[in-house]
Structure 1
Amino acid sequence: MAPARLPSKPPPMHDASKRLRAVLVLNELMEFQMRRHMHINETDFQAMQHLLQHRSLSPGELAKSLHLTSAATTTVIDRLVVAGHARRVPHATDRRRWLIEPTPESIRDAMSQLMPMVIEADDMVRAMPQDHQDAVVTYLDGVIDAIQRRIVEMDGESTDGASPATSGGAS
């Protein structure tokens, strides 16, 4: 599938699109601040995001979510355990398996950092008239759909044709 052609000079972005871009940039800064606060690197932070979302994952599920090998994921888990952010717990029904879960202290700490911002944004949207709330939801649903479509398209593009390693690029 060929990438979409962009116009030679794109039209000016809508104010809503400019603000969406600002949100994305600020999210990167927020993640940086959270990593600093937690004293962890980017990969470990991504692992913590998955653990906080799912509350527990097998090492294999975490590896798949992070797009890492089992060995690399074990290293991430070891660092998170040593840092006190995660723990290994036995599987409830399969004594051969382990699950990785965030520690209660790490959950509380992350929530104490994030919830004031989340509550403020939630209060803001709830204070809007219902038709404005509906417009915000409609816009964000469209943004989510556009991002998901682009992820699928990019995934297809990365599996089509030769990889850099097979086309003479550096490996």
Structure 2
Amino acid sequence: MLSHEGPPDTPPLHPSAFMLQALLTMANETEREVARHLGLNLTDYRALGAVSQAGPMTVGALAAQLGATAATTTAIVSRLELHGFVERLRSSEDRRQVHVTCTPAAAAAISALMRPLVTATSDHLASLPQDQQAEIGTFLNTVLQLMQHHLLTLSEKDTP
């Protein structure tokens, strides 16, 4: 977490940088609460979220996205499947390949929990003048790109 006061030789951070940090913290807390409502631990919920957003994927692709081993991801998928959140489907192109997909019931449960926030956010954005909407979209896209770059930088660093 960033502190409002940095090292003495660094320029002060823009106040909005702290708002972004608060937003990310709130997103993490919301994610934990949604997982709790679904009866899932956070790791399993993140796997479910990845499958829900990306669509059908192999266990290997899911493992890569989660940064987990294939064995760990297989265990996660088995737990999610046991509770009816995902199902395994054989590929129509290559019957040896199995894809994990989110069940309609799981998608509906996630949507029911997130729809109020998404709707309120969309409604608020729609109430703003078009130029502000465009500026916000540009800003959020820039922040997304900065975060993707930072994530890549972090993942390339040697771990102790």
After TM superposition, the score normalised by the length of structure 1 is 0.83
What corresponds to 2:65 in structure 1?
Answer: 65
Equivalent residues in 2 for 1:13-162, closer than 5 Å: 13-158=13-158
Give TM-score, length-normalised by structure 2. 0.88
5+ residue gaps in structure 1? 1-5, 165-171
Q: Could you say what the CA RMSD is over the residues aligned between the two structures, in angstroms?
A: 1.7
How far apart are residue 97 of structure 1 and its match? Answer: 1.7
Q: Which amino acid aligns with 1:97?
A: Q
Deviations 1:105-146 (A, max 9, x none): 000010011111111101111111111112212221221122
- The CA distance in 1 between the partners of 2:85 and 2:145, in whole Å, is 32
- How far apart, in 2, do the equivalents of 1:31 and 1:114 lie? 10
- Amino acid of the residue matched to residue 51 of structure 1? V
Structure 2 unaligned segments of length 5 or more: list them: 1-5
Separation in structure 1 between the aligned mates of residue 11 and residue 118 of structure 2, nearest angstrom: 33
Secondary structure at the aligned position of 1:138 is classed as helix
Residue by residue over 1:59-103, the C-alpha shift from the partner in whole angstroms, topping out at 9 and shown as x without a partner, is 111111111111111111110011111111121121122111111
Say which one has the larger Rg: 1
Structure 2 SS opposite 1:47: helix
1:3 corresponds to? none
Instruction: Give distance in 2, aligned partners of 1:126 and 1:87.
Output: 37
| Percent of aligned pairs sharing the same letter | 28
Alignment coverage as a number of residue pairs: 155
Shift of 1:11: 4.4
1:13 offset after TM fit, Å?
3.8
